[in-house]
Amino acid sequence: MIYLYKDIMSLIVSESSLSDLKAYRSDSEQSLKWPSVFMLPEWMQTWWQIFGEGLKPYIRIVKDGDKIIGIAPLMTKDNTAYLIGSTDVCDYVDFIVVPGSEQEFFNTLLDDLKKNGIKTLDLKHVRPDSTVVKNLIPLAEGRKCKVTSEQEAVSFEMDLPSSYDEYIQVLSTKQRHEVRRKLRRLNEEGKIEYRFIEECSELPAALDTFFRMFTESREDKAAFLTDRMKSYFRLLADNMRKIGLLKLGVLELDGKPVAEIMCFDYNDCIYLYNSGYDPQYVSLSVGLLSKVFAIENSIARGKKRFDFLKGAETYKGHLGGQEVPLYRCQIFI
């Protein structure tokens, strides 16, 4: 289905599918901005395969001639549209737009939604620097749409310095002392190695260990990790591995895994997605130190940002993370 909109420029809106989006991301001639790992086609396809039941895809491509200026990866239920994903496993979402084309894209999208009987655009969670907050909300308000915006969660992130020594100096005096003390104590216990799972053949067993640590380290994590969620994590890890973004870090003490973290490496940012540790080693702070090793490794590889992601856990601030509010925005069309 194709709709034509003519204003300052001729715009074409067409339906698309999740499977088609991979081609748009790999097309070097497109200048689309894929804002985070959560909006990559492979991530959205994984989520849809496990959690998409009962929802209808509503994916729109907006073009100016042959050039794509934006993608709306939406799904609908009744008369409401949402960005594909869910807040429990997709920390924040946004639209995929060519910088500088936001006004044309969102005007066209709102017209398309209204034309197709969509009454509400319910977007959560979105960052303050998202196209939703910076462009869509002001535009919708200018069109006299009712708009609500409320902070519902918080994320933590930090810009990475050029060296680990610089990072340690960024920490407060107390936290710098605590990190050094904990590292010294861990090293006194035996041989320490922090490594990433590189071989595909190692991944299933490493994930089994990750799931065990994940459920044993906290009661709320144990309740969260249902069989369906395990299927999602396995599929996500495999799909992200195939495109080179998975970083499954393992902290070993005398050759035994004592903590694991699942990260994703995208656009010079390390996303700390989830973690677990062996509670037998809680006195050695292996959970916290696995994050310190991940930060050290990220700096050594020249990464620019470390994203602790959603959640107000105290350790994130202690390790240098800065708070980022996350909003739920509703637009009544």
Burial of 305 (0-12, 13-18, 19+ CB in 10 A): middle
Distance of alpha carbon 227 from the chain centroid: 22
CATH number at 143 reads: 3.40.630
Preceding peptide of 125 cis, ω within 30°: yes
What 3-state class would DSSP assign to 30?
Answer: coil
Whether residue 314 lies inside any domain: the answer is no
Distance CA 199, CA 206 (A): 10
31: confidence class by pLDDT, cuts 50, 70, 90? confident
- For residue 9, name the pLDDT band (cuts at 50, 70, 90): low
How far does Cα 94 stand from its chain's mean position? Answer: 10
Whether 111 and 212 share a structural domain: no
Mean pLDDT along residues 73-102:
97
On whether both 133 and 181 belong to a single domain, the answer is: no
**Higher pLDDT, residue 2 or 59:** 59
Number of domains, the chain: 2
φ, ψ of residue 310 to 5 degrees: the values are -70, 145
Q: Are residues 125 and 239 in the same domain?
A: no
68 and 172 in a single domain? The answer is no
Co-location of 170 and 257 in the same domain: yes
The pLDDT confidence band at residue 1, using thresholds 50, 70 and 90, is very low
CA distances from 113 to 65, 139, 147, 159, 202 (A): 21, 15, 15, 37, 46
DSSP string for 263-326: EEEETTEEEEEEEEE-GGGGGGTHHHHHHHHHHHHHHHTT--EEEEEE---HHHHHTT-EEEEE
Q: Please state the pTM of the whole predicted model.
A: 0.94
3-class SS string, 160-226: CCCCHHHHHHHCCHHHHHHHHHHHHHHHHHCCEEEEECCCHHHHHHHHHHHHHHHHHHCHHHHHHCC
Residues 26 and 126 both lie in one domain = yes
Asked if 112 contacts 60 with a C-beta cutoff of 8 angstroms, the reply is: yes
Residues 245 and 172 in one domain: yes
Tell me the pLDDT band of 6, cut-offs 50, 70 and 90.
very low
CA atoms lying within 13 Å on the CB side of residue 210 = 25
- The pLDDT value recorded for residue 5 is 45
Phi, then psi, of 253 in degrees rounded to 5:
-120, 115
316 located within any domain: no
Q: Given the structure tokens 């041989």, which residue do they identify?
A: 191
Are 99 and 216 within one domain? no
Mean pLDDT score, 36-63: 97
127 and 177 belong to one structural domain: no
198 found inside a domain:
yes
Over range 93-121, report the average pLDDT.
97
Residues 267, 135 within the same domain? no
Residue 290: give its domain's CATH number: 3.40.630.30
pLDDT tens readout for residues 137-147 = 999 999 999 99
Residue 320: inside a domain: no
Are the C-beta atoms of 195 and 252 separated by less than 8 Å?
yes
Q: Are 161 and 299 in contact (CB under 8 A)?
A: yes
Q: Is residue 113 part of a domain?
A: yes
Whether 309 maps to a domain, the answer reads no
Query: What is the three-class DSSP state of 45?
Result: helix
* Residues 123 and 198 grouped into a single domain: no
Does any domain span residue 14? yes
Work out the mean pLDDT of the chain and round it to a whole number: 94
Q: Is residue 315 part of a domain?
A: no
- Domain residues for the domain of 39 are 2-151+326-332
Q: Within this chain, do residues 134 and 170 fall inside the same structural domain, yes or no?
A: no
